[in-house]
Amino acid sequence: MNETLDNIFTRRSVRDFTDNPVSRQDLELIVEAGLSAPSAHGKRSWHIAVIENQSIRDRLTEKLQWFRPVKVAATSILVLGNPSAGVQKEYWPQDCAALTENILIAARSLGLGTTWCGIYPVEHNMEMVKSVLEIPRNLIPFGMIGIGHPLKSDAFRERDRADDDKRVSWNPNWGIEGS
């Protein structure tokens, strides 16, 4: 198996971290990987905010227990959508999702653990983030990613593949005549 596939297959959400910081060099590579994602019409309707400050992360997570990985990780990234950058404004969530996944895989390849914490489209989550940060009016908070060095030695492992075959149809005959 090649390294890229190995990184994809063993990327798992990591929620426990060591105290080791994430180097600036690694963070820059991770950001660059995010910005290399595909986007609708190539319009890149996204924005990345690197949020390293612990007290801001504490405030962002105090009302949302699901956001714990953002609090306890060494650092975090807030992914925001910029709908006005798009040709078709509706595509910004897909752009942000592609960027987010690139970040997760890039971090994995550097030996760093991540958890994607969803914000959009849950109104309550979006309001919570806006109550802490004065987000520019053109941007919409999409998701946060906690990033750090995994605490557990088995943090990177393949997940259970049970039922995966039920989620794939090879050459489905879905009402196509003559097939």
x/- string (CB under 6 A) for ligand FMN, residues 40-69? --------------------------xx-x
Asked whether the beta carbons of 81 and 92 are under 8 A apart, the reply is yes
Question: If binding is defined by CB under 6 A, does position 34 make contact with ligand FMN?
Answer: no
Pick from 118, 126, 132, 133 the residue near ligand FMN by CB under 6 A. 118
Nearer Cβ to ligand FMN (24/168): 168
Asked whether the beta carbons of 99 and 30 are under 8 A apart, the reply is no
Nearer Cβ to ligand FMN (39/115): 115
Question: If binding is defined by CB under 6 A, does position 159 make contact with ligand FMN?
Answer: yes
Question: If binding is defined by CB under 6 A, does position 13 make contact with ligand FMN?
Answer: yes
**Closest to 93 measured CA to CA, from 143, 33, 30, 50:** 143
| Angle (nearest 5°) at CA 109 between 155 and 50 | 90
The tokens for 105 are 């895989």
